Amino acid sequence: METRILVLGGTAQARRLAEQLTELGVSVVSSLAGRVRDPKLPAGEVRVGGFGGAQGLGEYLSREGITAVVDATHPFAAGISANAVVAARERGVELLVLRRPPWSPGPEDDWRSVRSLAEAAGTVRRLGSRVLLTTGRQGLHHFAGIDHVWFLVRTVDAPEPPLPPHTTTLSARGPFDADAERELLRNNDIDLLVSKNSGGTMTEGKLVAARDLGVPVVMVEQPPPPRAPVVSGVEEALEWLRRRIGPFTRDNAGG
């Protein structure tokens, strides 16, 4: 039977996993949510868009003969992660979560950890006057009612209203290095950074810059991972897949 793996993707780790599986001759399908207009496409087959909840995802797994699912979505993509748990369990398909570890503050960091964007907005009301907001396009409405703060909102694609009344938007895609981030903070007189705790290295430069310049950070912490096996790296994911579904030979990989 052909090994066929569905990677719920959109992250750099998901792309690396799809590339390595493809090089091994494994049939891999990467699923992207479609929220970014011009996404970086991984190797192998790609599908874009939702499945229609847990039921729709389960039907897809059966129809496409999926052997295993790797949830390598953004740590804050809680909806699709929850659907994957239900669909995999109901269809008897192996499920692995590939989630990079969250960032941790060092002794020189000034972090205010919060559990949600709504809580982050409340913290901004008390602390900020010129804020770099890097939490993505989703959830910006939580900040829309803050009228005494200037925001520099950085997203991959231009955000849609509602936005705070005093907002400048910046469309940019990582990786962002620390030197460029320091310049951005200085040039815009940023006195508060708001970020999701996404982990990884692509956007970590802003935290280094904030630490160096003494800029406080409002950090939205990750939700708990779904109830499934979790690994933090691509090599760990490959090893787990080998243990659970067997070696990637040309016979069962379809190559």
State pLDDT tens for residues 52-90.
999 999 999 999 999 999 999 999 988 999 999 999 999
Q: What is the mean pLDDT of residues 112-130?
A: 97
- Collect contacts of 40-49 with beta carbons under 8 A, ≥24 apart: 40/15, 42/7, 42/9, 42/14, 42/15, 42/18, 43/15, 43/18, 43/19, 44/18
Task: Give how many domains the chain has, as a whole number.
Answer: 2
Looking up tokens 């874009």 gives 48
The yes-or-no verdict on residue 250 having pLDDT over 60 is: no
156-207 pLDDT, tens digit per residue, is 999 999 999 999 999 999 899 999 999 999 999 999 999 999 998 889 999 9
Residues 233 and 156 in one domain: no
Question: Bigger pLDDT: 171 or 247?
Answer: 171
Is residue 44 a part of any domain in this protein? yes
The phi, psi pair for 13, rounded to 5°, reads -60, -40
Residues 146 and 69 in one domain: no
Is residue 91 a part of any domain in this protein? yes
Residue 213: CATH number of its domain: 3.40.50.2000
Q: What's the whole-model pTM score?
A: 0.85
For residue 76, give its domain range.
4-101+223-253
Residues 229 and 188 in one domain: no
Residues 83 and 121 in one domain: no
Residue 56: CATH number of its domain: 3.40.50.720
The phi, psi pair for 154, rounded to 5°, reads -105, 120
Is residue 202 a part of any domain in this protein? yes
Is residue 168 a part of any domain in this protein? yes
Query: What span, in angstroms and rounded, lies between the C-alpha atoms of 48 and 103?
Result: 29
The yes-or-no verdict on residue 255 having pLDDT over 50 is: no
pLDDT-derived band at 1, boundaries 50, 70, 90 = low
